[in-house]
Amino acid sequence: QLGVVLKIENRQAFENLPRILLAGLRHGRPLGVMIARGDLAVELGFERLSEVQQEILWLCEAAHIPVIWATQILESMAKKGVPSRAEVTDAAMAVVAECVMLNKGPYIVETVVMLRDILARMDQHYHKRRATLRPLSVARLV
């Protein structure tokens, strides 16, 4: 049975995510969500990205839907062999997702090893939030 990955990449998908998830769950197929963080940052503003991705994570966790953390994860490491400080911090935050999607590059093997090590260390410090659903802030995006 072929599953479906919902790519959340724009305002419309974010605002309608609860309805999209319910529709997807009704079909009984395996379902996942990819947070296309680069596209969302451009569409909603970089300053809103952290908040928006957190709301997507909370909603998917409540619905028991796995999340793919995507876009520019350790990109400098994959391409140049050296990550930036910001990329390492960003990669550490990926511990909240069930899957991390890396880009290609000549140092991809080293990048996978680094990501594995970062996530292993973070796993000792972080537990997924079990937040009660509060009103989502999608209305404030308008």
pLDDT in tens, 1-54: 778 999 999 999 999 999 999 999 998 888 999 999 999 999 999 999 989 999
First CA to last CA distance, the chain: 38
Euclidean distance between CA atoms 64 and 78, whole angstroms: 31
Model confidence band, residue 142 (pLDDT cutoffs 50, 70, 90): very low
Measure CA 131 to chain center.
17
Q: Which of 59, 69, 56, 57 is nearest to 99 (CA)?
A: 69
Q: Which domain holds residue 126?
A: 4-141
The answer to whether the beta carbons of residues 133 and 62 sit under 8 Å apart is yes
Q: How many domains does the chain have?
A: 1
Region of 99 please: left (phi>0), alpha (psi -120 to 50) or beta.
beta
Q: Specify which residues 68 forms β-bridges with.
A: 34, 99
Measure CA 27 to chain center.
23
Reading the block at residue 141, the tokens are: 């995006």
Write the CATH number for 8: 3.20.20.60
Q: Is the pTM of this model over 0.85?
A: no
pLDDT in tens, 65-118: 999 999 899 999 999 999 999 999 999 988 889 999 999 999 999 999 999 999
pLDDT in tens, 116-141: 999 998 877 766 554 444 555 554 55
Euclidean distance between CA atoms 2 and 139, whole angstroms: 34
